Chain A
Amino acid sequence: MISLSPAAPPGVVTSEGLAADLCCFPTLDQYFSLVRSFKDDGFEMCVDLSGVDYLEHFDRWLPEGVAPTRFEVVVNLLSLSKKQRVRIRVQAGDDAPEVDSLFSLYPGTEAMEREAFDLFGLLFANHPDLTRILMPEEWEGHPLRKDYGAGRVPVQFKESPGPR
């Protein structure tokens, strides 16, 4: 286990991560300052930001002291100089999930946050342009939520009992 120098600031719950050197669980207030401290510490690139809807898997494993909510925002950071990866999971909320935007630290998160908004309905404060990016403009609903159906069209095959 590679030790990061310095480790995550005190007050933030951490654990070992699978295929990540460290996995942090900040609260909504600690989120932005935690990412800023990692950036100052040599994590030059934010490779991925995405949302997860835990409606049907609410009892996932979380370390002590972290209160689960329905939506989570997962950020993966990469340090090129130290060759390390760090994962940050913040519990975003149940009904009106809102977290701080990382745009002012990593401008590359602009499109990723728009995608999380479009597909999950997660809101990002201080994002320059929070509009839909993948779905058409007047689409209603957020498709990747678990209570949004996949939209399958029933297909009937020849000589089969009925539409699937």
Chain B
Amino acid sequence: MSDDTIRVAERLDLLTAETSEGAQELQRRDTTSDNELGREVGAVLRLDGLTLDPTSVDYDRHDDETMIINMGPSHPSTHGVLRLMLELDGEFVLRTKPVIGYLHTGMEKTGEELSYIQGATNVTRMDYLSPVINELCFSMAVEKLLDIEVPSRAVWIRMLMSELNRISSHLVWMATNGMDLGASSMMIYGLRERELILAFFEKTAGLRLNLNYVRPGGVAADLPDGWRDDVLVICDTIYARTFEYDELLTGQPIFRNRMVGVAPLTAEEALALGVTGPLLRSTGVPWDLRRSMPYLAYDEVDFDVIVGTFGDNFDRYAIRLNEIRESIRIVRQCIEKMPSGDYRSQDPKVTPPPRARIGESMEALIHHFKLFTEGFHVPAGEVYSAVESPRGEIGCYLVSDGGPKPYRLHVRAPSFVNLQAVSLLMRGGSMSDTITVISTIDPVMGEVDR
């Protein structure tokens, strides 16, 4: 029995030691270099020859006056497996360091082993709240390398699905944001509305989440019959309910106290850090790829780009709520203007033949076989193609060596870059503000860690 206890104790020791990540964690001040200290306190603009400012509130603190605590990775409010190490003075945050990598899946390595038709299944799981937009980014990069043209119906279908995905991603954000701030009924409302959209996705693509729908050359299947009625029901219901959310949250004093004026971000800091998406637009910079560098058919639809003023949490909330309304506007225009035609490119290099012909013609069978076992070859070259996801600019840097699989697949994930703003935004705030800050940055750990 004593043997067992000793063995068990050794094991537990081993397991405890293994959860520490050494140099990746927040260290004591006397062992941290000045530049790193600057990053952890959120100094973004004064970088050359950074010297610690003696008039600032905490730069002469000793290590025994402050406390370093760990939040996560298994935590209810960190939006996934994000680990935050905070140095606290009582209730106020001095330094922050996010430790990521707890969801690292090796998707870029797996991408080199899968063909281009299979590639969408891999990329779609990065930002799992907006899968269609990940696939769109990858497919557009492949199409640029292949130099093929996608038919206009496919373009409009892709736009419709992207905007529906944007609505559902922002609804999940509103649900989790409400829950983090204590409005747990917001969680139920957000998920309830989202079910309408997911039911439409299931009808079209077969899956609710991680739908492998947008592929190089077009989309996988045409829209089902009667889709206009389904989508109109979605638009009308969700539009009416956004006003209910306004009643629940926007004017409410506790919500406003926790969000207005908290964690402001300025435009220079945002541009220096490379943040994009609602985080950048909340600082007043009107940069939206759909308007500034249009792709698909965004220059033929009418929508507004929502821009904030102060860069605080409330602005980011208001931007996302209004983006739901703007996306509904775009979806209505897609319903009216949807052209008829093919839903994928008829180029035989990329598209398999229709299933009915496989039983009749030998060439069709061989063609289908080659496309699905080996895959189509993409000419050698490199491309960087970016689209606007609900979190910012998602880009795909693809290098091809002429073979059927990508040589290097790199995805520029918006949340990975936006998460660098965390130490800047949390400094000086209290512990309760850390929750709202992470919530409004809206990181999705699947794309942060890839």
CA distance A25 to B401 in the complex (A): 19
In the assembled complex, B187 has its CB within 8 A of some CB on chain A: no
How many chain B residues sit at the interface, stated as a range, is 35 or more
In the assembled complex, B292 has its CB within 8 A of some CB on chain A: yes
With a cutoff of 8 Å between Cβ atoms, the chain A residues found around residue B416 in the complex are 111-112, 115
In the assembled complex, B22 has its CB within 8 A of some CB on chain A: yes
Interface size on A, residues (CB 8 A): 46
Query: B residues 6-23 with Cβ under 8 Å of A?
Result: 20-23
With a cutoff of 8 Å between Cβ atoms, the chain A residues found around residue B44 in the complex are 107
With a cutoff of 8 Å between Cβ atoms, the chain A residues found around residue B408 in the complex are 52-53
With a cutoff of 8 Å between Cβ atoms, the chain B residues found around residue A61 in the complex are 380-381
Query: A residues 77-119 with Cβ under 8 Å of B?
Result: 80, 83, 85, 87, 103-104, 106-112, 115, 119
1/0 per residue, CB under 8 A from B, across A127-157: the answer is 0110111111110000110000011000000
Pick from A60, A76, A135, A136: contact of B401, CB below 8 A: A60
Query: B residues 38-61 with Cβ under 8 Å of A?
Result: 38-39, 44, 47-48
CA distance A85 to B289 in the complex (A): 12
In the assembled complex, A13 has its CB within 8 A of some CB on chain B: no
CA distance A56 to B408 in the complex (A): 11
Query: A residues 50-79 with Cβ under 8 Å of B?
Result: 50, 52-53, 56-57, 60-61, 74, 76
CA distance A46 to B417 in the complex (A): 10
Given A111-B416, A111-B419, A112-B417, check contact A46 B274 (CB 8 Å).
yes
Q: Which residues of A contact B (CB under 8 A)?
A: 18-20, 44-48, 50, 52-53, 56-57, 60-61, 74, 76, 80, 83, 85, 87, 103-104, 106-112, 115, 119, 128-129, 131-138, 143-144, 150-151
List the 6 closest A-B pairs by CB distance, nearest first.
A108-B274, A128-B35, A137-B22, A134-B101, A48-B412, A57-B401
Q: A45-B276, A108-B417 are in contact. List 14 more A-B contacts (CB 8 A).
A: A19-B144, A44-B271, A45-B274, A47-B274, A47-B412, A52-B410, A61-B380, A80-B287, A80-B292, A128-B33, A128-B38, A129-B33, A150-B106, A150-B113
